[in-house]
Amino acid sequence: MSPDTFEDEIRTLLHDATDSQSGAFDDVDAAAVLGGGRRVVRRRRVAMVGGTLAAALVVAGGTWAALDDSADRAAPVPATRTTMADIGVVSARVDLQGDTYTVRLDTATGSIAAVVPGSDAPVPAGSVRPGGTWSGWDVVSRRPLVVAGVVPSAATRLMPQWFGDVGGVYSDVAPLPGTPYQAVVWRAERSPRLATLAALNWSDGKAVWTDHGTQLPSAVVDDQVVYLDRATGELGAVGDDATLSVPTARFTDHGLVPVLSGSSEVGTELDGFFVALLPPGSRDVDLESLATRGSATPVRTAELPDGAGTVVTQTWRSPKEDPGDVAELWWTDATGGHVASMRPALVVRGTRVGYSLDAVTDQAVDPQQRSTVLLQRLVEDGPAPAPVVLRYDENTPDGVLVGCAKDGSAVCAVLPDPPASVTVLDRAGRVVGNGADWTGDSLGGSGRYVLVVATGDSGADVAAIRWTDDVSGRTHTVRRSD
């Protein structure tokens, strides 16, 4: 595969594959992701991250410091930054899982070849240009699946994006003397048909680059880099111990905010971070945490280059039993004031019914502020179902109700106020549900209440709910709108 020939096609294919599988990532445990990654072996000075790692998809915020804007972020870096002398063919031996692979780079043509164990014949493995920012690779073995190639010497972290379920990925690198490149070999646990390394981003600790030598809109804070890859539709963060990314479209398509959030255990405490991408030029940013104990860094903002958006970040430390996840994110942009609300889990007590919540309320519309709420079912195994989206505005004063489980085991609603009681009704107005129970929480900035009801009956044909206002004591009936 030659990235300089097929990059556009590959990235389109990867984007489609990411969209089709993104539901499987919606309730990944961010702590587990940070702690374990995807069993990728890290060796020498280059950290390898196999596949696209998903963090919890929540709406939240944080801080990043912007890079100097003097360089053109949209164009490949000129080859004059580093040069590659024509010194003939340079080779490197890469030892991986008890096998030795030889990777060769022809400095005159930029072509790459690899020799696999048990063979003396070189296998073509892509090509690079002399500038020192390109990457080239190809599959050199199918069983096992082995990809060999060349990446920049400046790369301190590689972010390969695989097409196909290849399982755990092991990797190692070796220098190619006299060149601005180093050899790399990846070996996957599984080799499904047509599986390949589809694209590769890399970081030098200051920015993130594509395999085509183009610098992505990036910003740095402390020892981490946050970036936006528009081609693949992902927001990512590169740290010392892990690289996390999330697909942005599932949230931006509904007017919500894409966010990375994660934590790792440090003794009896949790160290956490989150990163939000707001519209460009956002201001008056503030955050509210779910934690009642612990500490957090100040909220900071920075503009990503090329009008990619305003990055908000924060890190926190709190006891394990009181996680410092962000509850509300407030900001003002060109359209007015907004508040994003997020809850990692709304679980009905005594049931297996639970959802993560992400919402945005538009405060510019007064007095009937519009709210968009996205609920994602929490699952223990297998892919998550499609998220449920509810919209509350001046046309739904008593609330909006939809079914949020295909088997009738749950319904979800957005109400104008917290309820004191909730009754589930069928199409004839009869009470249904075997021990129905409910949970929920209020949205910041509006007082609206997101309700999750477990009907207690997987075959329930719910048509409406009757609820009593906790403020005025009035009774309301809301019928399903889906």
> pLDDT-based confidence at 225, cuts 50/70/90?
very high
- Averaged pLDDT score across all residues of the chain: 80
pLDDT number for residue 402: 94
Q: Is the pTM of this model over 0.85?
A: no
In a domain, 169, yes or no: yes
Range of the domain at 163: 3-26+68-203
pLDDT number for residue 434: 61
pLDDT number for residue 71: 27
In a domain, 192, yes or no: yes
- Among 12-21, 371-380, 389-398, which range has the highest average pLDDT? 371-380
How many independent structural domains does the chain possess? 2
**CA 426 to CA 280: how far, in whole Å?**
46
Asked whether residue 199 falls in the same domain as residue 346, the answer is no
> pLDDT-based confidence at 366, cuts 50/70/90?
low
In a domain, 392, yes or no: yes
- pLDDT tens-place string over residues 454-471: 987 766 788 999 999 888
428 vs 464, residue with greater confidence: 464
pLDDT of 219 over the 90 cut:
yes
- pLDDT tens-place string over residues 124-142: 999 998 888 999 999 999 9
Mean pLDDT of the region 68-81 = 33
In a domain, 360, yes or no: yes
In a domain, 217, yes or no: no
Number of Cβ within 10 Å of residue 356's Cβ equals: 21
In a domain, 466, yes or no: yes
pLDDT number for residue 321: 86
In a domain, 322, yes or no: no
pLDDT number for residue 394: 77
pLDDT number for residue 20: 41
89 vs 37, residue with greater confidence: 89
In a domain, 121, yes or no: yes
pLDDT of 284 over the 90 cut:
yes
48 vs 106, residue with greater confidence: 106
pLDDT of 21 over the 60 cut:
no
365 vs 420, residue with greater confidence: 420
> pLDDT-based confidence at 73, cuts 50/70/90?
very low
